[in-house]
């Protein structure tokens, strides 16, 4: 885990990382996966436009209806994007049901190597910096790997129920970030 900790960084999206991001997305295609939770958008409308949208959203600018201020970070190791996470600065009812404060995704070829645990650890530090004292993290009940990532970061299961918007049984975990102490 020490090597992962030394080499993994959360960085803000930039246009200079276009090729790395496109390779990240291609990894999902190669794995025959279409869902890339936590990516914060796609690059079909132009990469510069995607980066601008993500930057705006991190400042609460030009938010789509029903969206909250959210910061996107790319988990980078040796200039390769290993994962993506979104930190939502506040919760609304829809996010309490599904989504929570933090959504993340690890590229399929790098899963089960400890990157998810380290990325969430780094994201929780960022969330603390945004003034979040308790972070809600949700996951699919069948996603054992995500459950382990959340639990390794101090997540305590709060509830589990069917989410209409997710179309599945969703688990909701809280992680105390210690700001209120």
Q: Kindly state the average pLDDT of the residues 125-138.
A: 96
Give dist(CA 107, CA 121) in Å, integer: 17
pTM: 0.90
Give the residue, 179 or 85, on which the prediction is more confident: 85
Give dist(CA 37, CA 58) in Å, integer: 17
> Please, which pLDDT band fits residue 3 given cuts at 50, 70 and 90?
low
> Please, which pLDDT band fits residue 181 given cuts at 50, 70 and 90?
very low
Q: What is the pLDDT of residue 165?
A: 87
* C-beta separation of 171 from 147 below 8 A: yes
> Please, which pLDDT band fits residue 88 given cuts at 50, 70 and 90?
very high
Supply the Cα-derived Rg of the chain in whole angstroms. Answer: 15
Q: Kindly state the average pLDDT of the residues 124-136.
A: 96
Q: What is the dihedral of CA 26, 118, 11, 60, to 10 degrees?
A: 100
Percent of the chain with pLDDT over 90: 77
Give dist(CA 101, CA 138) in Å, integer: 9
Residue 97 pLDDT greater than 70, yes or no = yes
Q: Residue by residue, what is the 3-state secondary structure of 96-153?
A: HHCCCCEEEEECHHHCCCCHHHHHHHHHHHHHHHCCCCEEEEEEECCCHHHHHHHHHC
Give dist(CA 164, CA 127) in Å, integer: 27
Q: What is the pLDDT of residue 178?
A: 83
CA 36 from centroid of its chain's CA atoms: 10
Q: Kindly state the average pLDDT of the residues 156-164.
A: 96
Q: What is the pLDDT of residue 1?
A: 46
Q: Kindly state the average pLDDT of the residues 61-69.
A: 91
Summarize pLDDT for 24-61 with one digit per residue, the tens.
989 999 999 876 655 555 565 688 988 998 999 999 99
């Amino acid at each position: 885990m020490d090597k992962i900790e030394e080499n993994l960084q959360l960085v803000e999206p930039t246009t200079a990382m276009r090729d790395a991001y496109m390779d990240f997305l291609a990894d999902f295609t190669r794995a025959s996966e279409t869902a890339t939770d936590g990516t914060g958008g796609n690059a079909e409308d132009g990469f510069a436009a995607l980066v601008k949208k993500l930057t705006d959203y991190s400042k609460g600018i030009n938010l789509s209806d029903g969206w909250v201020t959210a910061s996107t970070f790319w988990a980078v190791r040796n200039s390769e994007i290993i994962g993506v996470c979104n930190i939502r600065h506040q919760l609304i009812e829809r996010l309490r049901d599904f989504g929570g404060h933090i959504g993340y995704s690890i590229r399929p070829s790098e899963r089960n190597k400890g990157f998810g645990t380290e990325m969430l650890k780094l994201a929780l530090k960022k969330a603390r910096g945004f003034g979040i004292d308790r972070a809600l993290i949700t996951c699919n009940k069948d996603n054992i790997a995500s459950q382990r990532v959340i639990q390794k970061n101090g997540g305590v299961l709060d509830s589990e129920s069917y989410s209409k918007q997710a179309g599945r049984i969703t688990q909701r975990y809280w992680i105390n970030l210690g700001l209120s102490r």
